[in-house]
Amino acid sequence: MGSTQVDSPVTPETCSVTRTLSFVGSKWTPLVIFHLLPGAKRYGELQHLLPGISPKTLADRLQTLEGEGLLTRTVHPDKPPRVEYALTRRGRELGEILNSIAAWAES
Amino acid sequence: MGSTQVDSPVTPETCSVTRTLSFVGSKWTPLVIFHLLPGAKRYGELQHLLPGISPKTLADRLQTLEGEGLLTRTVHPDKPPRVEYALTRRGRELGEILNSIAAWAES
DNA sequence: CCGTATCCCTACCGATACTG
DNA sequence: CAGTATCGGTAGGGATACGG
């Protein structure tokens, strides 16, 4: 006998793609990821690579990406302080997808 | 002699990925694309497939996607009016990328 | 050097009512 | 049926000043 239960529709709240794009699509986030793909960078380096970004926004993006497990934040106990950000494997995987979007968009 | 000209930095305004995600990342847009992947749908069908979306938002998303060349809008001269939306080849290509994001997000 | 704290503005999105 | 018009809330992001 067939079930009378219909599939519950996917909503923006339950869609994995919508959820992913909700933070990857934030302003500056793709560029942050691109700049980290070649290797770890310091906070100040990213600021110079991203002219126009505010310190608040850069910190927001880095913290969100860290919270999503896409990058790691490493504090080196130096004076003056030195903090490095590096993509995780998962972050690099997402970077590859962003590259495929770039290829699609520019073709 | 090496040029003294440095690369002008990429900004969110000139980044093709940021620009793409600025509309693909809009709420409901990925779901609209997913529902159109199997084939053309009418406006009312999409409304029922997307419970909770407002008519304004649905119209906004469809018009944006049409403007980006990702779908076509076809008016059939019937009574009552019948309008169908179908992905273009480019729209289906983007849909495939969204599927790869889903695979990444769910892995 | 690496951020946080505030304030503010605006663009996105939802609800609702209405029209060809 | 397939939208448009209008209004309003809210969250994202910028500018700026300051702190560990």
Q: Which residue of B has its CA nearest to A100?
A: B97
Output the pLDDT for position A44.
Answer: 98
Question: Is there contact between A77 and strand C, defined as CB under 7 Å from any strand atom?
Answer: no
**Is the confidence at residue A5, as pLDDT, over 70?**
no
Mean pLDDT, chain A, as a whole number?
95
B13 and chain A: CB distance < 8 Å anywhere?
no
Q: Mean pLDDT over residues B37-56, rounded?
A: 98
Q: Which residue from B84, B99, B105 is spatially nearest to B39, judged by alpha carbons?
A: B84
- Residue A60 neighbours by CB distance under 10 Å: 16
CB contact (8 A) between residue B104 and residue A93: yes
* pLDDT higher than 90, residue B35: yes
Distance CA B75, CA B55 (A): 18
Please name the member of A11, A18, A30 whose beta carbon is closest to the beta carbon of B18: A30
- Token representation of residue B55: 């008519």
pLDDT of residue B78: 85
Do the Cβ atoms of B24 and B94 come closer than 8 Å?
yes
Return d(Cα B72, Cα B86) in angstroms, integer.
5
Average pLDDT over residues B14-41: 98
What is the H or E stretch that residue A99 is in? Answer: helix A89-106
pLDDT at A3: 54
Chain B residues touching residue A94 (CB < 8 angstroms): 104
pLDDT digits (tens, 9 = 90+) for A27-76: 999 999 999 999 999 999 999 999 999 999 999 999 999 999 999 999 99
Interhelix angle B29-36/B55-67, rounded to 10 degrees, is: 70
Evaluate the CA torsion angle A31, B107, A60, A46 in order and state its sign: negative
- Give the per-residue pLDDT at B79: 85
Distance from CA of B77 to the nearest CA of A (A): 31
Residue B26 has pLDDT above 70, yes or no: yes
Q: Which residues of B73-82 are buried (b: 16+ CB within 10 A; e: fewer)?
A: eeeeeeeeee
pLDDT at A70: 98
Q: What is the pLDDT of residue A97?
A: 98
A99: exposed, middle or buried (Cβ count in 10 Å: 0-12, 13-18, 19+): middle
Q: Specify the CATH number of the domain B16-106.
A: 1.10.10.10
Q: Stated in angstroms, how far is B70 CA from C12 C1'?
A: 21
Assess whether pLDDT exceeds 60 at residue B31: yes
pLDDT for A4 equals 61
pLDDT at B3: 54
- Least confidently predicted of A21-30, B1-10, B97-106: B1-10
Indicate if the pLDDT at residue B4 is higher than 90.
no
